[in-house]
Copies of this chain bind each other. A is one copy, B any other.
Amino acid sequence: MKQIFLKNLSNHLDKEIELHGWVNTVRDHKKIVFLDLRDSTGTVQVVADAEASSLSPEDVVMIKGLVKKRPEKLINAKTPNGSIEVEANQITLVSKAHTLPFDMGKEELGLTLPVLLDNRTLTLRHHSVQKIFMVQEAIAEGFRKVSKELGCTEIFVPTIAASSTEGGAEVFEIKYYEHKASLIQSPQLYKQMLIPTFERVFTISHAYRAEPSVTTRHLAETIQMDCEFGFVNFEELLDLLEKVCVGMIQHAETTHRDIVEEFTKRLVLYGKIPRLTLTEAQEVIRKEFGRVVKDLKDMSPEDEQDICKWAREKKSSDFVIITHYPTAKRAFYTKPDPKDPQFSLSYDVLFRGLEICSGSERINDYQELVDVIKKRGMNPDDFELYLMAFKYGMPTEGGFSYGLERVTKQLLDLGNVRESSLFPRDMERVDVRLSRPKKLSS
């Protein structure tokens, strides 16, 4: 693999080299033709003879040529390879592209979201889209790095479950041989079951919610980054939650600072993260924004926006931790606060106005779990293996789950979570729009 990548091209000045890539733009000056060649790492200007005018955008080519310094007055200091160009000796066409449905050679794509997604495998090539997923990779990498530093073992959990394991109706059903099964709503139950094996675990897993609505925040299939810790109390969980949050996002920001700055003018504020109970947060909103909170049992999108504005301006933090949501509003395994069981030892992390993480200390007593499952109208038989983990000794434990797409969206100030999923799934789309009449291919 001796392929030269364009980001390293300036190391080959005055050398004969061979390049591979896609034609980004063609500028035909009759006797000479200027191509912008693109690979996954950058672009470079190629000077070619008239024959090259037959090339068109997205053609895949192999180019032999000489790397040269540009004349002083033609240097473009703004682009990475702006001081060099390639004088082509030989251009081989590897794959001819059809005529594009829109211009891919511009700095900004400027497409509406439906067009962006209807042409996903084309638009993903544009550097403005590609960069989102370079940052996404770094977020996941940062998550793994911090989780391992905290002593977590990586586990691989299944996505097919025997029944709706967290209650609620928003579950995708599968025909599983002669039986019914469903897709997991989260890796939650499985990571808990591994506490007696590894004490501290992490997993990057799929989660599925048959959300019946279309918002800018919801996807039917998401990537969740989960941790779970044994032998911890509530305060320790909040400390761990913060360590993962800050470590993960800092890793992505420092490794891709140029991209983060390009997407958003503001860098992340890492001031001491405020920790408020839901009730305290509602009080802050009343005081600071003079607004009466309507739903006392949860944070509305407007509440999340306001409390984050307050944290940013008053506490120099882009994050807020909200704790103690009403027990009845959280999943059955959430531990009620012994001091006031109406509220639970639960928490969310908000990042610039959006919830990116949810979690809690869990009920670790077998009988208490059996009772709460029954009380919520579910059948303990559906939780046999899960309950077994508690029946035979489970320490105090808890954990949390970060949504990869949401973290990406918030870090890069994207308008819609669909932009931060390579192939987003919602009630209207699985790759292509589900409602669209199919057309015949050539």
Interface residues of A (CB under 8 A from B): 1, 3, 5, 20, 22-23, 39-40, 58-60, 94-98, 100, 119-122, 124-125, 129-130, 133-134, 136-137, 140-141, 150-151, 153-162, 172-177, 179, 181, 183, 190, 193-194, 196-200, 204, 206, 208, 210, 212, 220-221, 223, 230-232, 236, 239-240, 364-366, 370, 380-381, 384-396, 404, 421-423, 425, 427, 430-432, 434, 438-442
The CA-CA distance from A140 to B148 in the complex, in Å, is: 14
The CA-CA distance from A172 to B434 in the complex, in Å, is: 19
The CA-CA distance from A140 to B190 in the complex, in Å, is: 19
Kindly report how many copies of this chain are found in the complex they form together. 2
The residue on B at minimum CB distance from A426 is B177
The CA-CA distance from A120 to B162 in the complex, in Å, is: 15
Residues of B within 8 A of A442 (CB): 370
The CA-CA distance from A212 to B204 in the complex, in Å, is: 29
Known: A395-B20, A439-B381. A157 touches B423 (CB 8 A): yes
Can you pick out 11 interface pairs between chain A and chain B where the beta carbons lie within 8 Å of each other?
Answer: A1-B239, A1-B240, A40-B153, A59-B393, A98-B391, A100-B392, A124-B196, A158-B423, A160-B430, A177-B210, A206-B206
Residues of B within 8 A of A137 (CB): 153-155
Least Cβ–Cβ distance between A236 and chain B, in angstroms:
6
Determine which of B154, B193, B220, B396 lies in contact with A121 in the assembled complex, contact meaning CB atoms within 8 Å: B193
Residues of B within 8 A of A100 (CB): 392
Known: A20-B395, A381-B439, A431-B161. A196 touches B422 (CB 8 A): no
Least Cβ–Cβ distance between A30 and chain B, in angstroms:
25
Known: A196-B124, A385-B432. A393 touches B58 (CB 8 A): yes
Residues of B within 8 A of A394 (CB): 60, 95
The CA-CA distance from A158 to B428 in the complex, in Å, is: 15
Please tell me if the beta carbons of A422 and B156 are within 8 angstroms of each other in the complex.
Answer: yes
The residue on B at minimum CB distance from A41 is B199
The CA-CA distance from A395 to B39 in the complex, in Å, is: 11
